[in-house]
Amino acid sequence: MSSEPLRAQVAALPAKPGVYTFRDQAGKVIYVGKAANLRSRVRSYFGSPRSLEGKTRKLAARIAALEIVTTRTEQDALHLEATLVKRHQPLFNVRLKDDKHYPYLKVDVKSPWPRVTITRRVQNDGARYFGPYASAKSVRTSLDLVKKLFPWRSCDKEITGSDPRPCLEYYIRRCIAPCTSYCTPDEYREVIDQTMLFLDGKSSVVVEQLTEGMQEAAEELNFERAATLRDQIAAVERVTEQQITADAAESEIDAFGMAVDGDEAVVQVLFIRGQKMTGSDHFSLAGVREEPLERVLGSFLRQYYEGAVQAPRLVLIPNEIEQPELLGGWLTQKRGGAVEIRRPQRGEKRRLTEMAAENAREALEMQRVRWLADRGRTDAALDEIEQALSLPAPPHRIECYDISHNQGDSTVASMVVFLDGRPATREYRRFRIKSIDGPDDFASMAEVMRRRFRRLGEQRQAERAEGYALPAELNQPDTEEQPDSEGQPNGETERSSDEGWGAIPDLVIVDGGRGQVSAAHDVMRNLAVDDIPLAGLAKREELLFVVDTAEPIRLDRRSQGMYLVQRIRDEAHRFAISYHRRLRAQRASRSPLDRIAGIGPTRKKALLRKFGSLQAIRAASAEEIAATPGLTRRVAEQLKAEL
């Protein structure tokens, strides 16, 4: 569709609530949004590009077609938006990754002999559903737990009550054998009711019911049944004791925490039912780069509760979200009772969101580590990088550089090394920029390249002139410091190179666009090392810039290659930021006495012991300062002059 028909369509949009869908030239859905006023909201994408945010500007440039659905209320639009985002997984939306349909536990209560099963489809069939769970593993763990605690049947055979003998599960107390009429329908229904109470988090009610049954059995001298119920009570109590107690009034709470890294995020949810934490799950998101946290969390909550069977009474969130009243109204409608969305500032509920956030950070880190440890994925990523950059082979050694400063103050650079797609933290290096004053990223990058490759360039010149090579141990970068514990990313396996610092990288990546690439290439050309492949990864557009190529290289945002180069770039950024912050902290903690020649740690300590503070030293005379043990008249006069 040309821009004129598209603009005409936008101008004719109704001023009603609804959902709008943008498609690209290939007809693929790239964004789904909701609006209280479709005309006003959609029109905002077609204004001046300068008025749009970076991500929105990129979206607007790719819009080729528009579809809308009007709704009765904005709450209806909220629900439809979440449904369409989960269905189409648009590139520019914050979206739940992996499965579009999350698993649930289902109890078909209409069946005369119900079972507990796993399903990915919630239907309006009168059954009870519990979930959603984040993965098949988590739902199977819950299923195994309730099967151990409650003796319902797991077989799918037709129950007639006329079987000659029960199966093994009866003898190991995992079923009460309705197939042989060893139990009545009421007794079996009681087991199912207790299972559902437990899944609802009401374990205390289950224990009360089991205790009553045990006492009745004992009074009837049915000691075998009483002993069975006693063991079941002990098992339920052991499970609930292992659950973390929430010091809050008995209620239904979902507590959320979130961790964000580049274009990905993980949201953790803790389920509190009664006064117990009955479970937790984490969900992976994509498409969060350049999105504010309130939009990321709000989008997740809409998609999450769109698939949930019921909302809790209280939703605890770690940060503000967009239009909380609208989401709260929708959840209230879904629940059939009041739902409160709250961002706790203190107390036990604040502790719950902090616990969820900590679990989200750990889950995100483990997700990243698992990806890097997956040989198949990293090999695929390296192959893709080889093809995209026209390299002679998949890059074995990749070095990435980043500059960090605060308006030109304490400018530093980092170098991180990945071997075969995995971090080699022992080979990380940091540079303190020495020759540049002020914020000049291009000149700073040039200095780093010069210090890293100067000796390699000298070695090559010597080889050409004299026919010999410098020893490998001399071919080291001119770095400020060796890596310390800051250079060991949590959870990552350290891998060192067997080539030493004489190693020549198969690919150099600089954090930045064409300007940084040009600055780095000029230095490498002058040092005669410009045969080393060089690329720049620009943050805003996530495009790869290479030398002597007019158009940047665009990797698929969801590809393994893009994921790897982003991980490498983000690791270089993290390493540079940590060094920069440490230097600033050191400078902030330094005393003016540290800058005065002749005043070392011993004299500084003596001065502070005698005068008590820097202000008192300034107020003292040169004679009083000179009388301090270890100081001379000349040093005292210099100190007075400089203070």
pLDDT tops 50 at residue 486:
no
122 and 43 in a single domain? The answer is no
Q: Is residue 347 one of the residues assigned to a domain?
A: yes
The rounded distance, in Å, linking the Cα atoms of 314 and 564 is: 39
pLDDT of residue 99: 47
pLDDT of residue 22: 92
pLDDT tops 80 at residue 598:
no
Sequence length of the chain is 643
536 and 466 in a single domain? The answer is yes
Angle CA(273)–CA(277)–CA(280) in degrees, nearest 5? 105
Provide mean pLDDT across the span 11-19: 88
Q: Is residue 139 one of the residues assigned to a domain?
A: yes
Which of 126-130, 366-370, 431-435, 519-523 is least confident? Answer: 366-370
> 154 phi and psi, to 5 degrees?
-105, -10
pLDDT of residue 517: 92
pLDDT of residue 466: 67
What the block records as the tokens of 608 is 């502070």
pLDDT band at residue 596 under the 50/70/90 scheme: confident
pLDDT tops 70 at residue 241:
no
Say which residue, 478 or 439, is predicted with more confidence. 439
Say which residue, 273 or 182, is predicted with more confidence. 182
**Element holding 455 (H helix, E strand):** helix 441-466
The rounded distance, in Å, linking the Cα atoms of 385 and 562 is: 8
pLDDT tops 90 at residue 394:
yes
pLDDT band at residue 519 under the 50/70/90 scheme: very high
405 and 499 in a single domain? The answer is yes
Percent of the chain residues past pLDDT 70, beyond the cut:
84
pLDDT tops 90 at residue 535:
yes
Q: Is residue 38 one of the residues assigned to a domain?
A: yes
Taking residue 566's Cβ as centre, other Cβ atoms within 10 Å add up to: 20
The rounded distance, in Å, linking the Cα atoms of 115 and 106 is: 8
pLDDT of residue 244: 44
Closest CA to 568 of 507, 520, 493: 507
pLDDT tops 50 at residue 193:
yes
- CATH number for 396: 3.30.420.340
The rounded distance, in Å, linking the Cα atoms of 404 and 425 is: 19
Provide mean pLDDT across the span 295-321: 87
Taking residue 297's Cβ as centre, other Cβ atoms within 10 Å add up to: 26
> How many separate domains does the chain show?
5
Say which residue, 643 or 534, is predicted with more confidence. 534
89 and 162 in a single domain? The answer is no
pLDDT of residue 591: 66
pLDDT tops 50 at residue 235:
yes
Say which residue, 86 or 562, is predicted with more confidence. 562
- Reading phi first (left if > 0) and then psi (alpha if -120 to 50, else beta), residue 279 is in left
- CATH number for 12: 3.40.1440.10
Cβ neighbors of 480 (< 8 A, separation 6 or more) are 412, 430, 431, 432
What the block records as the tokens of 179 is 């197939």
The rounded distance, in Å, linking the Cα atoms of 217 and 232 is: 14
The rounded distance, in Å, linking the Cα atoms of 30 and 59 is: 8
Angle CA(503)–CA(505)–CA(507) in degrees, nearest 5? 175
88 and 174 in a single domain? The answer is no
Provide mean pLDDT across the span 457-472: 69
Say which residue, 225 or 412, is predicted with more confidence. 412
The rounded distance, in Å, linking the Cα atoms of 433 and 412 is: 5
Q: Is residue 236 one of the residues assigned to a domain?
A: yes
598 and 579 in a single domain? The answer is no
Provide mean pLDDT across the span 72-89: 84
pLDDT of residue 540: 67
pLDDT band at residue 487 under the 50/70/90 scheme: very low
pLDDT of residue 469: 53
Q: How far is CA 23 from CA 30, 32, 59, 85, 306, in A?
A: 5, 9, 10, 13, 23
Provide mean pLDDT across the span 456-476: 66
145 and 237 in a single domain? The answer is yes
Half-sphere exposure of 140 (CA within 13 A, CB side): 3
pLDDT tops 90 at residue 351:
no
Percent of the chain residues past pLDDT 90, beyond the cut:
15
149 and 204 in a single domain? The answer is yes
pLDDT of residue 249: 46
pLDDT tops 70 at residue 243:
no
36 and 56 in a single domain? The answer is yes
Q: Is residue 376 one of the residues assigned to a domain?
A: no
pLDDT tops 80 at residue 338:
yes
Using omega within 30 degrees of 0 as the cis cutoff, is the peptide bond preceding 477 cis?
no
The rounded distance, in Å, linking the Cα atoms of 385 and 482 is: 29
Which of 2-6, 336-340, 436-440 is least confident? Answer: 2-6
pLDDT band at residue 122 under the 50/70/90 scheme: confident
What the block records as the tokens of 544 is 């790869």
**Bridge partners, 279 (sequence order):** 271
What mean pLDDT value characterizes the chain?
Answer: 81
Edge-to-edge order in the sheet of strand 18-23: 29-35, 18-23, 65-70
432 and 480 in a single domain? The answer is yes
Among 349, 371, 393, give the residue marking a domain's end: 371
pLDDT of residue 21: 92
Is the full-model pTM beyond 0.75? Answer: no
Say which residue, 279 or 575, is predicted with more confidence. 575
> 476 phi and psi, to 5 degrees?
-120, 150
Among 345, 371, 397, give the residue marking a domain's end: 371
Closest CA to 205 of 163, 249, 262, 250: 250
208 and 286 in a single domain? The answer is no
pLDDT band at residue 484 under the 50/70/90 scheme: very low
Does residue 20 contact residue 30 with C-beta atoms inside 8 Å?
Answer: no
pLDDT tops 50 at residue 489:
no
pLDDT band at residue 246 under the 50/70/90 scheme: very low
Cβ neighbors of 471 (< 8 A, separation 6 or more) are none
What the block records as the tokens of 318 is 């770690």
pLDDT of residue 545: 92
Provide mean pLDDT across the span 262-278: 78
Q: Is residue 99 one of the residues assigned to a domain?
A: no
Q: Is residue 317 one of the residues assigned to a domain?
A: yes
> 498 phi and psi, to 5 degrees?
-95, 10
Torsion of CA 419, 420, 422, 423, to 10 degrees: 10
Half-sphere exposure of 287 (CA within 13 A, CB side): 21
Q: Is residue 98 one of the residues assigned to a domain?
A: no
Does residue 99 contact residue 304 with C-beta atoms inside 8 Å?
Answer: no
Among 332, 353, 371, give the residue marking a domain's end: 371
pLDDT tops 70 at residue 488:
no
> 33 phi and psi, to 5 degrees?
-140, 165
pLDDT tops 90 at residue 303:
no
364 and 391 in a single domain? The answer is no
Domain hosting 258: range is 251-371
pLDDT of residue 271: 83
pLDDT tops 70 at residue 480:
no
pLDDT tops 60 at residue 614:
yes
- CATH number for 324: 3.30.420
